[in-house]
Amino acid sequence: MKAYISKLPQILVLLSFGMVLSSCATEDRVFKMIDKYFEDKGVEAVEKTLDKIIQKRQKAAQPTLEDRMKNRVETSIVGAPVKGLENAPITIVEFSDFECPFCSRVLPAVDQVMKTYEGKVKLAFRQNPLPFHKSATPAAKAAMAAQEQGKFWEYHDLLFKNQRELNEKNFIKWAKDLKLDVAKFEKDMKNPAYQKRIDEDQDFARKNGAGGTPSFFINGVRLVGAQPFENFKEIIDGLLKEKS
């Protein structure tokens, strides 16, 4: 606790320059420190304080909804795992990292979106394992191997549920738990095509302002960070109104 508090001023300085810390970005040193914070236990009070600061800075740094609606990004979901009705009018494309604590923290908001807008929203997942998360790329490949056997979302949930235990032994264990063909799973994890797909997803994310995780494109409207349900709702309601 004391060790983290001693670093808090550094984080506040970064915040003062408008850095949105509700997403994992590629500034290696800074986000290793943030990840360490989320690994520590018993720092709820500091977390709540930091959340308040994040939300204020987020609001100030985020482009207006009007600007984002005008500057939409065409985002492919070809080859990506998708859940929700195929003909849903709203498509959310999520760029995420299985080791990123913020990606885990946004899951309740995403789940609420899927329940609230059932039949109107579908969710696609694209990979953006950040370089300073050493287990993120192997986890991404494990999830892709599970996708080959129709179990991506179940495996996705296990990875986030066990975010601090991402290693090869557990990847195999979770494949067994889901009753996958383990021999095929292990072979698929080594498929060089997976790295190519990851590289393509990351390249797209970097070029379109989604280099940090989590990042979302909602019918092409960009939303960055571990945002609350209300921020998803604002965009989705605007898009549905536009379509009507």
Q: What is the largest CA-CA distance in the chain?
A: 54
Lowest mean pLDDT segment, chosen from 8-17, 46-55, 83-92: 8-17
**Reported pTM:** 0.77
| Mean pLDDT of the region 103-125 | 98
Judge whether residue 244 has pLDDT over 70. Answer: yes
Higher pLDDT, 41 or 199: 199
Q: Which alpha helices (H) appear in the chain, and where do they start and end?
A: 2-16, 28-39, 44-61, 65-70, 101-105, 107-116, 136-147, 152-161, 168-177, 182-189, 192-207, 229-243
User: Do residues 167 and 140 lie in contact, with contact meaning Cβ atoms separated by under 8 Å?
Assistant: no
Judge whether residue 185 has pLDDT over 70. Answer: yes
User: Do residues 133 and 97 lie in contact, with contact meaning Cβ atoms separated by under 8 Å?
Assistant: yes
What pLDDT does 64 receive? 73
User: Do residues 77 and 125 lie in contact, with contact meaning Cβ atoms separated by under 8 Å?
Assistant: no
Structural domain boundaries of the chain?
A: 2-61, 66-243
What pLDDT does 243 receive? 82
Judge whether residue 87 has pLDDT over 80. Answer: yes
User: Do residues 87 and 205 lie in contact, with contact meaning Cβ atoms separated by under 8 Å?
Assistant: no
Distances (CA, A) of 152 to 10, 125, 140, 198: 38, 10, 10, 15
Structure token digits, residue 227:
């945002």
With a pLDDT cut of 90, the percent of the chain lying above it is 69
With a pLDDT cut of 70, the percent of the chain lying above it is 75
Q: How confident is the model at residue 2 (pLDDT cuts 50, 70, 90)?
A: very low
Higher pLDDT, 94 or 14: 94
pLDDT in tens, 128-157: 999 999 999 999 999 999 999 999 999 999
Residue at token pair 């379509």: 243
Fold type of domain 66-243: Glutaredoxin (3.40.30)
Judge whether residue 31 has pLDDT over 70. Answer: no
